[in-house]
Structure 1
Amino acid sequence: MSLMDRSHPTESLRDYDEWTLDLRRLSMGVPFAQGAFGKLYRGTYNGEDVAIKLLERPENDPERAQLMEQQFTQEVMMLATLRHPNIVRFIGACRKLMVWCILTEYAKGGSVRQFLMRRQNRVVPLTVAVKQALDVARGMAYVHGLGFIHRDLKSDNLLIFGDKSIKIADFGVARIEVQTEGMTPETGTYRWMAPEMIQHRPYTQKVDVYSFGIVLWELITGMLPFQNMTAVQAAFAVVNKGARPIIPSDCLPVLAEIMTRCWDANPEVRPPFTDVVRMLENAEAEIGTTVRKARFRCCMSHPMTTD
């Protein structure tokens, strides 16, 4: 039985340890992104556009090589288990000597962060932001429903596809939710990281909800969280000063409420993603009926308009 046929993800993670690709069917272009252990390439496999994560195993750093192997294995297992319209589709993986690779479907629209950077000050429909947020929330509700934690939810890991849908990617640091005292601290990225992770305290799936609150703020404003701080300064401010991104004064109250509840310092106050989906669906309905032409700008210096 293949991994894709298994019904229980934890069983898959325990039992499955082989992934194969016919490398004769793979062609690789130029790299378009750089990661901690390698590069991302655009290529084709069996005639389909794919993203190729090519990892180079460190030869003279056993500790780093072990970490790379752990993240490689984890990501392949997760991707091969997850099947949802808002999760990037896994195609295959291969381990050959010092070079390992993971293939997923290619996102022509790039990441949400790249999308927001390209928009700059041009007006973007508010309906787009809510639709994108709903895609992320629905994908994460599915991930959490299987007992997983992503641990690095951010706009760089949210990909835009040809039909404008958003899919969640990069499960290299994801984990099954268990007792978290033994989990690796400081996974994820500081600007999006929940305070309990920054402080190396036990954590749950609610760390992803916190990160989603930051992502929703990005979608509404188009800005980088804590852009006037370094990542370390942002982490210090979040933990020691209770700092959060400033919500625009003209933000719809329902969206402001979702953000503030998601990034609450108390994980117990943060709603599960099933509730986040419901709240966003209500927001989408409100926008459609009462703010028919509502639009927002990707910079807080340009307020939302309802012309």
Structure 2
Amino acid sequence: MKRTAPGPLTGRRLEGRYLLGDLIARGGMGVVYRAQDTRLARPVAIKVLKESVGAAPDTRERFVREAQAAAAISDPHVVSVWDQGVDESASEPVVYLVMELVDGATLRDLIKRRSPMTVREALRVLRPLSQGLAAAHRTGLVHRDVKPENVLTSPEGSVKVTDFGLTRHVQAESATLSLVGSANYIAPELVRRQPAGKPADIYSVGIILYEMLTGVPPFRGDSPYAVSMAHVDDPMPDLRQRFPDVDPEIAEVIAWCCAKDPEARPQDADALQGELEHLLQRFSDEALDRRPPGYRDDAADLFSGLETASHTNAMQLAPFAHGGPPGSSQGEHEAPSAASEDEARTADDADEPSDPDTTSVHARRSLDDATRVLPEGAVADEPAGPSSAHGAGSVASGTDPGAQQDPAVPTHVLGSTEPYRAWVWLLIFVLAACMVAYLGWLAGVTFLSQGSSDPSVGAAAFTIQAPPA
């Protein structure tokens, strides 16, 4: 389970509206914060551009294009973009993007936990993924960085494509496009720096399907460059080598999506979506539920257990929205209306677990109960009913809903190191032992070399070693 903590900007209010909470993700161009839109009283995710790249005008322009490109897509399987701006209230301006907040985890987390999957399980992810890409393709956009890290999933089973930072209008394609994308999922034409259109996204989807069904990516190498070149030079492995019992049509779909020639692939996500629907109608339950080698038998739903601390409860930021973070003027913004508070409580109650059911995503603790961190020496509360879990607008952590919560006090810990501490000390011990051995060897070599160059020392050594007459 991922955990979060306040970041450098936690407690800052962007342009007087967006109050930043915990840091929930990091990327190449920036970081993502959990935040509260104090104007509309709703939780949001805010991507903040790194200072090192935000100062460059061309990078800012790219950031704006990302917002415009993603905002043009309206589909339930694409993370919505709601706003973009630059906050200049402090000495360092902050370039930011406001997005829909998805409570869950990435497809990478799901693959780590449940792959290899059956065909039915893989299609539960692939169908909405292709639907989201189809919506982008219909607007003339290409993602070009489709990978598990850019697909968000939730315990309720939603699948959404995010991070359109590498999108470009198809009409603006250029053969001089720099190498983009991730090595494990990059299309051959992008490696060759050739024009890359919608079939480049289809190639990445085919690689993801192969990985979900086998648990491993099809190409490996000693470096990202080696993996990228394998996409160009090496034939696509046959799925049946790792999943012998799979229906041949699934193997054919992967081979179709991952053809080296873009013209030989489905030309857009709509074409792929049509083929997936056709397969679902043709396949029997037995074909859909065949288990690949290494399958992890789990009675729980595919998406259950994906609740993470990456997205905390919406009410946790309410105290900030009312009075602002420490050091700011109190009452800077009006408190949410009673209707807004009722809506927030309704959203909280929707997460309340129902009767235990080992085959349902509802057979889990609520997100807040599962991720809260108790103070040292405190005892966890006994499970309670819905009225005590979220009643009267209480905060998930069990604190007074009217009390101010200091954003500098972490509710979660980002990157907890407890599981690795013993390995770190072991590594330090091994390195120290190697250093001592090396110094001992070096001292011995030095002594022997000095002895061989000094005749008196050599004679003494000979006298000592010679047997008595």
Q: TM-score under structure 2 normalisation?
A: 0.54
* 2:34 pairs with 1:33: no
Task: Indicate how the Cα distance of structure 1 residues 205 and 30 shifts in structure 2: closer, same or farther if over 3 A, else same.
Answer: same
Q: Which residue of 1 aligns with 2:160?
A: 167
- For each residue in 1:102-157, what CA deviation from the matched residue of structure 2 results, as whole angstroms up to 9, or x when unmatched? 12112222110122113367xx5532310210111111122111111111111111
How far apart are the structure 1 equivalents of 2:136 and 2:224? Answer: 27
Task: Indicate how the Cα distance of structure 1 residues 270 and 252 shifts in structure 2: closer, same or farther if over 3 A, else same.
Answer: same
Given residue 18 of structure 2, which amino acid in structure 1 is its aligned partner? L
Q: Percent identity, please.
A: 26
Q: Which residue of 2 aligns with 1:8?
A: none
Q: Which residue of 1 aligns with 2:199?
A: 206
How far apart are the structure 1 equivalents of 2:215 and 2:42? Answer: 32
How far apart are the structure 2 equivalents of 1:30 and 1:304? Answer: 33
CA contact (8 A) 1:41 1:52 kept: yes
Q: Which residue of 2 aligns with 1:291?
A: 286
* 2:108 pairs with 1:105: no
Q: C-alpha displacement at 1:86, in angstroms?
A: 1.0
Q: Which residue of 1 aligns with 2:44?
A: 50
CA contact (8 A) 1:207 1:267 kept: yes
Q: C-alpha displacement at 1:224, in angstroms?
A: 4.2
Mean Cα deviation higher: 263-272 or 213-222: 213-222
* 2:276 pairs with 1:280: yes
1:1-307 superposed matches below 5 A: 23-45=15-37, 46-58=40-52, 65-97=56-88, 98-119=93-114, 124=117, 126-178=119-171, 180-182=173-175, 184-227=177-220, 229-240=222-233, 242-245=234-237, 247=239, 248=242, 249-272=244-267, 273-287=269-283, 289-291=284-286, 294-296=289-291, 301-302=293-294
Task: Indicate how the Cα distance of structure 1 residues 75 and 183 shifts in structure 2: closer, same or farther if over 3 A, else same.
Answer: farther
Gaps of 5+ in 1: 1-20
- For each residue in 1:47-68, what CA deviation from the matched residue of structure 2 results, as whole angstroms up to 9, or x when unmatched? 4332221113327x96xx2342
Mean Cα deviation higher: 186-195 or 168-177: 186-195
How far apart are the structure 1 equivalents of 2:257 and 2:287? Answer: 26
CA RMSD of aligned residues (A): 2.6
Q: C-alpha displacement at 1:293, in angstroms?
A: 7.0
Secondary structure of the corresponding residue to residue 184 of structure 2: helix
Task: Indicate how the Cα distance of structure 1 residues 260 and 142 shifts in structure 2: closer, same or farther if over 3 A, else same.
Answer: same
Secondary structure of the corresponding residue to residue 110 of structure 2: helix
CA contact (8 A) 1:294 1:304 kept: no
How far apart are the structure 2 equivalents of 1:193 and 1:181? Answer: 17
How far apart are the structure 2 equivalents of 1:222 and 1:104? Answer: 31
How far apart are the structure 1 equivalents of 2:145 and 2:83? Answer: 22
CA contact (8 A) 2:184 2:227 kept: yes
Secondary structure of the corresponding residue to residue 192 of structure 1: coil
How far apart are the structure 1 equivalents of 2:62 and 2:275? Answer: 34
Q: C-alpha displacement at 1:252, in angstroms?
A: 2.5
- Between Structure 1 and Structure 2, which shows a larger proportion of strand residues? 1
Larger Cα-atom Rg: 2
- For each residue in 1:72-128, what CA deviation from the matched residue of structure 2 results, as whole angstroms up to 9, or x when unmatched? 11111012211011111112222124211112112222110122113367xx55323
Q: C-alpha displacement at 1:180, in angstroms?
A: 2.7
CA contact (8 A) 1:37 1:57 kept: no
How far apart are the structure 2 equivalents of 1:117 and 1:27? Answer: 33
Given residue 78 of structure 1, which amino acid in structure 2 is its aligned partner? A
Secondary structure of the corresponding residue to residue 180 of structure 2: coil
Secondary structure of the corresponding residue to residue 77 of structure 2: coil
How far apart are the structure 2 equivalents of 1:245 and 1:41? Answer: 39
CA contact (8 A) 2:183 2:228 kept: yes
How far apart are the structure 1 equivalents of 2:288 and 2:170? Answer: 42
Q: C-alpha displacement at 1:267, in angstroms?
A: 0.8
Given residue 140 of structure 1, which amino acid in structure 2 is its aligned partner? L
Q: C-alpha displacement at 1:43, in angstroms?
A: 2.5
- For each residue in 1:227-273, what CA deviation from the matched residue of structure 2 results, as whole angstroms up to 9, or x when unmatched? 55432111122222x24355232332222111110110111110132
Task: Indicate how the Cα distance of structure 1 residues 26 and 48 shifts in structure 2: closer, same or farther if over 3 A, else same.
Answer: same
Q: C-alpha displacement at 1:30, in angstroms?
A: 2.3
Secondary structure of the corresponding residue to residue 52 of structure 2: coil
How far apart are the structure 1 equivalents of 2:296 and 2:154? Answer: 26
How far apart are the structure 1 equivalents of 2:115 and 2:199? Answer: 31
How far apart are the structure 2 equivalents of 1:228 and 1:182? Answer: 26
Task: Indicate how the Cα distance of structure 1 residues 197 and 82 shifts in structure 2: closer, same or farther if over 3 A, else same.
Answer: same
Gaps of 5+ in 2: 1-12, 298-469
Q: C-alpha displacement at 1:275, in angstroms?
A: 1.9
Paired residues in the alignment total 275
How far apart are the structure 1 equivalents of 2:115 and 2:205? Answer: 21
How far apart are the structure 2 equivalents of 1:101 and 1:66? Answer: 14
